[in-house]
């Protein structure tokens, strides 16, 4: 197999960073347009890629969750507009009884006429938010959030671990709520209703705290937080560079996404910010002694994925400059909605990852490894041993590697793999 | 390798020190077994080895603890991570990542080892512990035994020279436990790792130990010596040793093999005696029944076509490997899991539809995490609440607790109790309602031998009173001593169902030690043998 074919066909995890950049590209398109056709296209593209490339792991269900969240957002946005907002002039759909409000609430209206344009505008606004949410959901479903955190620069490692602990806190909290509610039932106390929930809260929190403490103890015992010594000056320079860089990134992103600010606030500030933060992080990285086990590689599929996201975003930005009316069109009548060619082509490019990226390894599945496909995955994942020359220092690190007798014992057949 | 010099550890608000004037020196390459009653300070001793006590838990440590020449006073646990590998009682609570392979690499990443070293050690460890097929599995989908092996592997990859294990086999089925212990022994023999191991199930580990430390509790001095000499007198002893004491064997046997070689005379003496089984009353009315029961978790079938009935006065031991569906069956009988097909009935009604207040009078359930049933701030308040919940006369829960775990402090917080004391408390709470059906999931986890004996007595009395009891357990000794019937579950189906004396004697995995020693005769417990010998001197 050629290198290219290997990259595309052999199942492996695509670098989580690539998926996130791709998703951010799509989210940029969504946040810059109020054209429902383009928004629906973004949703379709994200949905297609997710269904083609997600694994069976628990986090792969995130997309559906975010879609549901999006529906709720649309509903709330529309209801708020219909009940509270000032109506846009146009065809009146329904007239609700208007509730008279005191003078100091001027500008707020409760009830009254509901017009087609205002409903349509609210729906589109909601759809835009929902689409941005769906893009985040797509990134979550395609990339294990913990793996993304693991690929953070060494300096951000500790923040990353804090986030990891928080991430595992939420699902374990749900499990303990479930378990402890069951236990209440076993003590003969109500397990439903408000009182049941409130009395469960205390034991659940205790349980979660205890769990966090034992996790912290385990992490400490396993060497978390070891660090090398650095001078005070380096530490200060690091802090200034990192903080300044992060502020730059925030300002630049805002300028880029908003589209109404001065052009100088967009890309240039973002780039300067990224550079400063990068140098800062590189400095700070020297503080930790950590190394990475099997980092996800960044190869051609990752480049294509990232660039396709960037292309979609760039096409929509270009459309905004060339034909601003197409991104924020007159919403009614629906038959006259424009579909800008450039932005559409850009979005279709973002479909590429569905074909050019390798499929995810099936081993992440919760189900037992029994399908022939899974066997292929295992073969694919055990890369040939690295033929690097071993340095003397490595030799020393390896001096206590397992003796031949342990290696020769071979794998005992695990009895529990088929449950 | 591990040195304790005049170490005294005390916690604030505790009456006396947890450990006093401990002198312990474990040389390199030794497997040292720490035994003692529940709550005697074994865990404190183990956690002092890598500095978790006092760096993490608080409290004061007087004296000096050194490991491989490093003093824990100025080396926090993270600075000892390359020397000491520590596996706690609940391995799942220490997992940092979410995939097996990443978990194995985590310690090495923290230590900053070069990538190809990590790669090779992960492969070696996967093979050593039989985890190769699980390498890409999410940790949350593993069974108890698999988790324990991953936890062990995750510290082994750093190639520590000391391994500290707190009850490594307590949650495992007998074959899985043997697998873990075999792996441990290989580490000790081939790699010269020093192991400090606390375990209640002495019958599983004592034969592997070079050295034994008995922590008597109440800050009394440690007893330290070879397993043979110590076990002659300690209150905690496995059945093989008790049988040896009874028969007056010298040297005291520690393994089945040693005991069988000395058991010739005893077998001859016992051959003429009828192995009178533990007196069990004849089963009465049907209390609980399942009919074609099937339960699934998503795509995983946990139970299928299970027919089981429980009658008055029966004690059923539910055995089978980790993840076979034992807990699911118990949970279905309490209505915590709804059946996907078939039905479960307890005293004539469907447990899933019962109101909690009615449920508790029909079925009592001690879950695997006994602490789930505890809410109050003190043991006394918990007992009072149990009396109220069950409409039992005041003090009945306290009386039960006193019998199960004597001398527990009524003012203590339930979460500060040791694992064994906590289980005793929960047992007492559940038994307070005296439900006709009693279900216990792994009741002997963390219990020492005396507590286990008291549990067996209580279970027998309850059975004699007409209660029906199901124990899901890996503890073959408990099943042999308490159960009248044994049901073996595999892959969600019932494989064997019959009288305990027949089922366990026939199976090498589930036979208790006494049965193995005295085979082909059918003796199950030391107590039986003692009774028989007492009748005819």
Nearest-CA neighbor of B68 among B225, B210, B193, B167? B193
Q: Give the pLDDT confidence score for residue A405 in this predicted structure.
A: 37
Quote the CA–CA distance of B348 and B454 in Å, as a whole number: 31
CB contact residues (below 8 A), chain B span 153-212, against chain A? 154-155, 158-159, 175-176, 179, 186, 190-191
Model pLDDT for residues B412-470, shown as the tens digit of each residue: 888 777 766 787 888 888 888 888 999 998 888 777 788 788 888 888 888 888 889 99
Quote the CA–CA distance of B179 and B401 in Å, as a whole number: 35
CB contact residues (below 8 A), chain B span 292-351, against chain A? 298-300, 321-324, 331, 334-336
Per-residue confidence at B537, pLDDT binned at 50, 70, 90? very low
Model pLDDT for residues B235-251, shown as the tens digit of each residue: 778 889 989 988 888 88
Facing A363 at nearest CB: one of B113, B137, B140: B137
Facing A414 at nearest CB: one of B96, B112, B131: B131
Q: Give the pLDDT confidence score for residue B349 in this predicted structure.
A: 87
State mean pLDDT over A79-93: 79
Mean pLDDT of chain B: 85
Q: Give the pLDDT confidence score for residue A365 in this predicted structure.
A: 40
Facing B120 at nearest CB: one of A182, A203, A401: A401
| Token code pair at residue B383 | 């007992």
On chain B, the residues whose CB falls within 8 A of the CB of A186 are 334, 336, 356, 359-360, 364-365, 367, 373, 430
Q: Give the pLDDT confidence score for residue A24 in this predicted structure.
A: 92
Instruction: Judge whether A280 and A238 are in contact, CB under 8 Å.
Output: yes
Residues 6+ apart with CB under 8 A from B198: B33, B34, B35, B36, B42, B43, B45, B46, B165, B166, B167
Q: Give the pLDDT confidence score for residue A362 in this predicted structure.
A: 64
Instruction: Judge whether A221 and B77 are in contact, CB under 8 Å.
Output: yes
Instruction: Judge whether B444 and B450 are in contact, CB under 8 Å.
Output: no
Per-residue confidence at A303, pLDDT binned at 50, 70, 90? very high
Half-sphere exposure of A409 (CA within 13 A, CB side): 21
State mean pLDDT over A113-124: 86
State pTM to two decimals: 0.73
State mean pLDDT over A219-226: 82
Nearest-CA neighbor of B33 among B138, B169, B221, B174? B169
State mean pLDDT over B307-320: 91
Q: Of A57-61, A129-133, A392-396, B168-172, give the lowest mean pLDDT range.
A: A392-396
Q: Give the pLDDT confidence score for residue A419 in this predicted structure.
A: 33
Which range scores top for mean pLDDT: A347-351, B54-58, B347-351, B499-503?
Answer: A347-351
* pLDDT above 60: residue A407: no
Quote the CA–CA distance of A220 and A173 in Å, as a whole number: 22
Instruction: Judge whether A210 and A248 are in contact, CB under 8 Å.
Output: no
| Token code pair at residue B436 | 């006709």
Query: Taking CB atoms and an 8 Å limit, are A186 and B359 in contact across chains?
Result: yes
Model pLDDT for residues B275-291, shown as the tens digit of each residue: 655 555 677 788 888 88
Model pLDDT for residues A15-28, shown as the tens digit of each residue: 888 999 999 999 99
Residues 6+ apart with CB under 8 A from A78: A119, A122, A123, A126
Cis peptide before B251 (omega within 30 of 0): yes
Q: Give the pLDDT confidence score for residue A196 in this predicted structure.
A: 66
Domain boundaries defined on chain A: 8-148+297-364, 152-225, 230-291
Query: Taking CB atoms and an 8 Å limit, are A190 and B82 in contact across chains?
Result: no
Query: Taking CB atoms and an 8 Å limit, are B359 and A188 in contact across chains?
Result: yes
Instruction: Judge whether B78 and B56 are in contact, CB under 8 Å.
Output: no
Q: Could you tell me the end-to-end alpha-carbon distance of chain A, in angstroms, rounded to an integer?
A: 36
Quote the CA–CA distance of B71 and B51 in Å, as a whole number: 9
| SS3 of residue B26 by DSSP | strand
On chain B, the residues whose CB falls within 8 A of the CB of A291 are 108-109, 112-115, 118
Between residues B469 and B36, which one has the greater pLDDT?
Answer: B469
| SS3 of residue B317 by DSSP | strand
Per-residue confidence at B84, pLDDT binned at 50, 70, 90? very high
Q: Could you tell me the end-to-end alpha-carbon distance of chain B, in angstroms, rounded to an integer?
A: 50
Query: Taking CB atoms and an 8 Å limit, are B356 and A185 in contact across chains?
Result: yes
Quote the CA–CA distance of B193 and B156 in Å, as a whole number: 10
CA distance B258 to chain A (A): 27
Q: Give the pLDDT confidence score for residue B403 in this predicted structure.
A: 80
Given 3.40.50.300, 3.30.1050.10, 3.20.20.70, 3.30.43.10, which CATH number is that of B313-338+353-506?
3.40.50.300
H/E stretch holding B303 reads strand B300-311
Which range scores top for mean pLDDT: A138-152, A271-285, B56-70?
Answer: B56-70
SS (H, E, C) B220-276: CCCEEECHHHHHCCCCCCCHHHHHHHHHCCCCCCCCHHHHHHHCHHHHHHHHCCCCC
Mutate to test the interface with B, among A11, A13, A220, A229 (most CBs of B within 10 A): A220
Model pLDDT for residues B131-167, shown as the tens digit of each residue: 888 888 878 778 777 888 899 899 889 889 999 998 8
Query: Taking CB atoms and an 8 Å limit, are B78 and A223 in contact across chains?
Result: yes
CA distance A405 to chain B (A): 7
* pLDDT above 80: residue B274: no
Quote the CA–CA distance of B215 and B217 in Å, as a whole number: 6
CA distance A182 to chain B (A): 6
CA distance A219 to chain B (A): 7
H/E stretch holding B377 reads none
Query: Taking CB atoms and an 8 Å limit, are B94 and A401 in contact across chains?
Result: no
Q: Of A362-366, B15-19, B418-422, give the lowest mean pLDDT range.
A: A362-366
Instruction: Judge whether B211 and B31 are in contact, CB under 8 Å.
Output: yes
On chain A, the residues whose CB falls within 8 A of the CB of B299 are 366-367
Which range scores top for mean pLDDT: A110-114, A132-136, B260-264?
Answer: A132-136
| Token code pair at residue A303 | 């480049």
Say if B433 is an interface residue toward chain A (CB within 8 Å). yes
* pLDDT above 70: residue A341: yes
Quote the CA–CA distance of A342 and A164 in Å, as a whole number: 40
What are the φ/ψ torsions at residue B223 (nearest 5 degrees)?
-105, 140
Per-residue confidence at A98, pLDDT binned at 50, 70, 90? confident
On chain B, the residues whose CB falls within 8 A of the CB of A409 are 127-128, 186
Facing B111 at nearest CB: one of A164, A223, A292: A223
Facing B356 at nearest CB: one of A191, A407, A415: A191
State mean pLDDT over B2-12: 90
Mean pLDDT of chain A: 75
Q: Which residues pair with B343 in a beta bridge?
A: B291
Q: Give the pLDDT confidence score for residue A367 in this predicted structure.
A: 36
* pLDDT above 50: residue A391: no
Where helices occur in A96-231 by DSSP H, the ranges are 116-142, 145-150, 157-186, 193-221
Instruction: Judge whether A319 and A35 are in contact, CB under 8 Å.
Output: no
High-pLDDT (> 90) share of chain B, %: 18
CATH number of B2-236: 3.40.50.300
High-pLDDT (> 90) share of chain A, %: 19
Total residue count of chain A as it appears in this document:
419
Sign of the dihedral defined by the CA atoms of residues B516, B521, B524, B528, in that order: negative
Between residues B497 and A209, which one has the greater pLDDT?
Answer: B497
Model pLDDT for residues B192-223, shown as the tens digit of each residue: 889 999 988 888 888 889 999 998 877 788 88
Domain boundaries defined on chain B: 2-236, 237-272+513-537, 313-338+353-506
* pLDDT above 70: residue A191: no
């Amino acid at each position: 197999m050629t290198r290219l074919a290997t990259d595309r066909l052999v199942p492996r995890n695509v670098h989580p960073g690539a998926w996130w950049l791709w998703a951010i590209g799509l989210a940029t398109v969504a946040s810059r347009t109020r054209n429902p056709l383009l928004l629906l296209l973004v949703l379709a593209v994200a949905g297609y890629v997710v269904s083609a490339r997600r694994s069976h792991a628990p986090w792969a269900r995130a997309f559906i969750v975010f879609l549901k969240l999006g529906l709720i957002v649309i509903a709330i946005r529309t209801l708020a507009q219909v009940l509270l907002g000032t109506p846009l002039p146009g065809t009146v759909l329904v007239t609700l009884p208007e509730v008279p409000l005191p003078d100091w609430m001027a500008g707020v209206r409760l009830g009254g006429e509901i017009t087609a344009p205002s409903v349509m505008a609210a729906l589109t606004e909601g759809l835009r938010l929902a689409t941005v949410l769906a893009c985040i959901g797509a990134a979550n479903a395609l990339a294990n959030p913990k793996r993304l955190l693991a690929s953070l620069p060494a300096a951000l490692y500790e923040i990353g671990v804090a986030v990891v602990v928080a991430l595992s806190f939420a699902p374990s909290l749900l499990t303990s709520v479930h378990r402890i509610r069951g236990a209440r039932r076993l003590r003969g106390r109500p397990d439903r209703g408000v009182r049941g929930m409130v009395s469960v809260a205390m034991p659940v929190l205790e349980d979660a705290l205890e769990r966090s403490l034992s996790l912290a103890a385990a992490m400490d015992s396993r060497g978390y937080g070891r660090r090398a010594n650095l001078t005070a000056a380096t530490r200060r320079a690091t802090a200034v560079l990192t903080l300044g860089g992060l502020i730059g990134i925030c300002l630049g992103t805002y300028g880029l996404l908003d589209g109404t600010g001065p052009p100088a606030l967009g890309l240039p500030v973002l780039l300067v910010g990224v550079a400063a933060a990068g140098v800062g992080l590189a400095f700070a990285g020297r503080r930790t002694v950590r190394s990475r086990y099997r980092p996800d590689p960044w190869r051609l599929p990752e480049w294509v994925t990232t660039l396709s996201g960037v292309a979609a975003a760039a096409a929509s930005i270009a459309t905004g400059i060339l034909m601003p009316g197409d991104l924020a069109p007159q919403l009614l009548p629906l038959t006259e909605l424009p579909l800008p060619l450039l932005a559409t082509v850009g979005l279709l490019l973002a479909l590429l990852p569905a074909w050019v990226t390798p499929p995810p390894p099936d081993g992440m599945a919760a189900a037992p490894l029994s399908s022939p496909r899974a066997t292929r995955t295992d073969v694919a994942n055990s890369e040939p041993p690295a033929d690097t020359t071993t340095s003397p220092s490595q030799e020393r690190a390896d001096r206590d590697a397992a003796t031949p007798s342990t290696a020769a014992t071979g794998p005992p057949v695990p009895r529990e793999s088929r449950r | 390798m591990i040195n304790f010099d005049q170490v005294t550890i005390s916690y604030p608000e505790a009456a006396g020190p947890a450990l006093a004037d401990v002198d312990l020196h474990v040389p390199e390459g030794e497997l040292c077994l720490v035994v003692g009653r529940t709550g005697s300070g074994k865990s404190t001793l183990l956690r002092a080895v890598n500095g978790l006590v006092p760096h993490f838990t608080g409290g004061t440590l007087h004296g000096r603890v050194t490991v491989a020449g490093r003093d824990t006073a100025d080396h926090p646990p993270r600075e000892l991570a390359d020397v000491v590998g520590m596996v706690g009682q609940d391995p799942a609570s220490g997992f940092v990542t979410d995939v097996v392979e990443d978990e194995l690499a985590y310690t090495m990443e923290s230590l900053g080892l070069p990538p190809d070293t990590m790669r090779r050690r992960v492969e070696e460890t996967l093979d050593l512990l039989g985890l190769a097929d699980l390498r890409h599995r999410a940790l949350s989908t593993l069974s108890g035994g698999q988790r324990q092996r991953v936890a062990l592997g995750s510290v082994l990859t750093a190639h520590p020279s000391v391994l500290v294990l707190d009850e490594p086999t307590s949650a495992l089925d007998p074959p899985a436990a043997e697998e873990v212990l075999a792996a441990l022994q290989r580490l000790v023999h081939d790699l010269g790792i020093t192991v400090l191991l606390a375990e209640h199930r002495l019958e599983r580990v004592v034969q592997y130990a070079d050295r034994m430390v008995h922590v008597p509790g109440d800050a009394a001095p440690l007893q330290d010596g070879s397993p043979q000499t110590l076990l002659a007198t300690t209150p905690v002893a496995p059945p093989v040793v008790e049988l040896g004491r009874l028969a007056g064997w010298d040297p005291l046997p520690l393994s089945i093999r040693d005991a069988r070689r000395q058991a010739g005379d005893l077998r001859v003496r016992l051959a003429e005696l009828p192995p009178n089984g533990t007196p069990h009353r004849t089963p009465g009315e049907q209390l609980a029944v399942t009919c074609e029961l099937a339960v699934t978790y998503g795509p995983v079938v946990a139970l299928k076509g299970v027919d089981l009935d429980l009658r008055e006065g029966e004690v059923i031991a539910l055995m089978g490997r980790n993840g076979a569906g034992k807990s699911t069956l118990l949970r279905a009988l309490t209505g915590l899991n709804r059946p996907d097909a078939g039905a479960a009935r307890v005293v004539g009604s469907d447990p899933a539809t019962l109101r909690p207040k009615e449920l508790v009078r029909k079925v009592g359930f001690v879950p695997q995490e006994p602490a789930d049933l505890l809410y109050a701030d003190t043991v006394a308040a918990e007992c009072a609440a149990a009396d109220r919940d069950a409409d039992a006369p005041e003090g009945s829960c306290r009386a039960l607790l006193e019998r199960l775990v004597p001398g527990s402090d009524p003012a203590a917080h339930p979460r500060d109790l040791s694992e064994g004391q906590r289980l005793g408390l929960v047992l007492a709470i559940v038994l307070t309602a005296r439900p006709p059906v009693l279900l216990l999931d792994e009741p002997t986890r963390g219990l020492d031998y005396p507590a286990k004996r008291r549990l067996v007595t209580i279970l027998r009395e309850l059975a004699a009173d007409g209660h029906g009891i199901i124990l899901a357990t890996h503890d073959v000794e408990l099943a042999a001593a308490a159960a009248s019937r044994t049901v073996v579950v595999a892959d969600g189906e019932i494989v064997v169902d019959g009288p305990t004396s027949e089922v366990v004697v026939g199976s090498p995995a589930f036979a208790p030690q006494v049965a193995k020693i005295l085979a082909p005769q059918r003796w199950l417990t030391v107590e039986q043998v003692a009774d028989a010998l007492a009748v005819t001197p």
